[in-house]
Amino acid sequence: MVPLAEAWDSGASTWTAAERQAYANDLDEPRALVAVTARENRQKADQDPAEWMPSAPSARCRYVTEWAVVKTRWGLSVDQVEAESLAELAAGCPNEELTVVLAR
């Protein structure tokens, strides 16, 4: 969900190799790894929600939720532009209580 390059810029650069491997293969959190088309994956690249959103409007609230869950789960930082975009996008989504199990 959160690309490795984005995770690196958001705090993973200080992790051990084992922590980075655990992040890249996080099968314990179903919202961490989401199947998408190759086209969507190429378009997204390592961009955050301030720079890219799914092409299907119906997928955007789910995307914002999953992004927030992964960032929280792994203790990754959120820059100001990213936070503002997430808040703006989430304002148009239904309220949902999220449960997050911390990975570290």
Residue 59 in any domain: the answer is: yes
DSSP class per residue in 17-52: HHHHHHHHT--S-TTTS----HHHHHHHTT--TTT-
For 44-100, write each residue's pLDDT tens digit.
888 899 999 988 888 899 999 999 999 999 999 999 999 999 999 999 999 988 889
Residue 68 in any domain: the answer is: yes
Residue 60 in any domain: the answer is: yes
Q: Which amino acid is at 98?
A: L
Per-residue pLDDT at 6 exceeds 90: yes
Cβ contact 8:48 at 8 Å = no
Q: What mean pLDDT do residues 18-24 have?
A: 95
Residue 63 in any domain: the answer is: yes
Please report the pLDDT score of residue 9 as a whole number. 95
The domain in which residue 69 lies consists of 4-90
Confidence of residue 31 (pLDDT cuts 50, 70, 90): confident
Residue 99 in any domain: the answer is: no
Residue 10 in any domain: the answer is: yes
Please report the pLDDT score of residue 30 as a whole number. 83
pTM of the entire structure? 0.88
Residue 102 in any domain: the answer is: no
For 33-54, write each residue's pLDDT tens digit.
777 778 887 888 888 999 999 8
> Hey, what long-range contacts does 90-94 have (CB within 8 A, 24 or more apart)?
90/61, 90/64, 90/65, 92/61, 93/60, 93/61, 93/64, 93/65, 94/61
Domain count within the chain = 1
Please report the pLDDT score of residue 45 as a whole number. 82
Please report the pLDDT score of residue 100 as a whole number. 92
Residue 33 in any domain: the answer is: yes
Three-state SS for 64? helix
